[in-house]
Amino acid sequence: MTNRKMDGELETNRTAAEGGPVTAIVVGAGHRSMRYAGYAKKHPDKLAIVGVVEPDPVRRQLLASQFGLADGRCYESLEQLVSGPQIAQAAINGTMDRLHVETAIPLLEAGYDILLEKPISTSDEDLSKLAAAADKSGRLVMVCHVLRYAPFYRKIKEQLASGTIGDIVHIQTSEHVSYHHMAVAYIRGKWNSVASCDSSMLMAKCCHDLDIIAWLAGDVPVRVSSFGSLMQFKPENAPAGAGTRCLQDCRIEESCQYSAKKHYLDQGRWGFYVWENAHLGVEPDEASKVRSLATDNPYGRCVWHCDNDVVDHQSVIVEFGKGGTASHNMIGATAKPSRTIHIVGTKGEISGVLEDGFFTIRTPDARKGHEYSEKKVEVNVTGDSHGGGDMLLVNDFVKVLKGETPSLSFTSLDTSVFGHRIGFAAERSRLGNRVEPILVHR
């Protein structure tokens, strides 16, 4: 499978038995990998997990137990896997951000098609390196930009493709990151520091949104400007009485909206981050949870006394080759999480909120007594993650590997690089206080 088209059709690699499931290995037994691999449990006739690469022996065994893997199909390292014969058609690569490219390239060279967790890479240079390796290998790299598969955005794309609002003049999006999500992932958690994960918050959280902008625009981005900073969550802003750990030395824990006790014990939120191997079915008892948060668990720290350095708000402005523009605002620590969109075209506009389950199309209407006409378009927003997109993404991956036509949402590497180019340029702009060109077009 390749990212290129030959004679108008995608080349296909039909290694799966006719009518049988696509076989895949899991590389990195993290939460997102397990989310995608879970498709095999729901649809064993379409996808079979036949191996795992995971350096942590406990995680490796937990995943093996869930999918009935023999010891010979469990690998401590990627080198151990690729040094032997190819054991599957595909790999689900859910490693951490900085490892994506260095793990993806050996997989491509060993003959695996890849479902790759976002962000694709942590730099423009690595993105180009992976693109070159994918072209050379002729394998498919499909990126986990799951929002393209959410019915909300797919239906909007269909409206744009049909010319409902004409040519796009401007796309405006925003993501409001809830206070509890901000705390668990970008203050206390794995993406709280560029030094620890190599990703800015914009890329770790909003590469979905930047991809949506580029995908809907259908045009090449040419320059970017961006502003943002870490404004709220730093020691000098800590309220009087705040300690270093919520369950240890904090005098205001009972009234604090960022209390680790409230979030992770009382509300039971984000357990797959907070408790070791919870995403693999391990559930500690209550006493162990309390002890953990009070002592060495990083998620028990005060949000004003962490080692975070990523922004808590950022704005991005984009110009495209045909003259259209776009803007994205990421605002952290909001009361309610949401993603909004407003697209203005030459013949009308589309606006909506992902979580509401509908969007509205408005067109000018100059008839007497009218100003505009509008139509409400209902979409199916399920309880599935990312507006229903996660399982739809895996389903498309499986279909393409079976030689079927990809969907409108298809996230091939070729079409997924542009949102990343915007994000990398935005961070250079923010740090350098200047307008940044998009470095590479592909």
Check pLDDT > 50 for residue 372: yes
pLDDT of residue 17: 43
May I ask the CATH architecture of the domain 148-231+311-384+411-437?
2-Layer Sandwich (3.30)
Residue 187 to residue 298: CA distance in whole angstroms: 10
For the purposes of burial, counting CB atoms within 10 Å of the CB of 199, is it exposed (0-12), middle (13-18) or buried (19 or more)?
Answer: buried
For the purposes of burial, counting CB atoms within 10 Å of the CB of 129, is it exposed (0-12), middle (13-18) or buried (19 or more)?
Answer: middle
Residue for token pair 């590469």: 207
Half-sphere exposure of 404 (CA within 13 A, CB side): 16
Residue 420 to residue 405: CA distance in whole angstroms: 25
Q: So where are the chain's domains?
A: 5-144, 148-231+311-384+411-437, 235-300
Residue 436 to residue 425: CA distance in whole angstroms: 6
| Positive/negative CA dihedral, 216, 220, 225, 227 | positive
Tokens, residue 92: 């689900």
Give, in order, the Cα–Cα distances in Å from 312 to each of 91, 123, 334: 34, 21, 10
pLDDT of residue 386: 58
pLDDT tens for each residue of 46-94: 999 999 999 999 999 999 999 999 999 999 999 999 999 999 999 999 9
pLDDT tens for each residue of 88-143: 999 999 999 999 999 999 999 999 999 999 999 999 999 999 999 999 999 999 99
Q: Is 219 within 8 Å of 167 (Cβ atoms)?
A: no
Q: Looking at residues 237-249, what average pLDDT do you find? A: 97
Crossing angle of helices 124-137/100-109, nearest 10°?
A: 10
How many CB atoms neighbour CB 9 within 10 A? Answer: 9
Q: In 3D, which of 61, 49, 40, 28 has the Cα closest to residue 282?
A: 61
Mean pLDDT across the chain? 93
Task: Please determine, looking at this structure, whether the domain spanning 5-144 carries the CATH number 1.10.3720.10.
Answer: no
Residue 173 to residue 359: CA distance in whole angstroms: 13
Q: In 3D, which of 3, 431, 383 has the Cα closest to residue 229?
A: 431
pLDDT tens for each residue of 262-304: 999 999 999 999 999 999 999 999 999 999 999 999 999 999 9
* Longest distance between any two alpha carbons in the chain, whole Å: 75
Q: Looking at residues 203-207, what average pLDDT do you find? A: 96
Residue 200 to residue 213: CA distance in whole angstroms: 18
pLDDT tens for each residue of 382-419: 555 556 789 999 999 999 999 999 999 999 999 999 99
Q: In 3D, which of 226, 118, 125, 3 has the Cα closest to residue 440?
A: 125
Strand-strand pairing, 47-53 and 22-27 = parallel
Rg over alpha carbons for the chain, rounded to the nearest Å, is 23
Tokens, residue 302: 């005060």
pTM score over 0.85: yes
Q: Is 3 within 8 Å of 143 (Cβ atoms)?
A: no
**φ/ψ of residue 5, rounded to 5:** -105, 140
DSSP 210: H
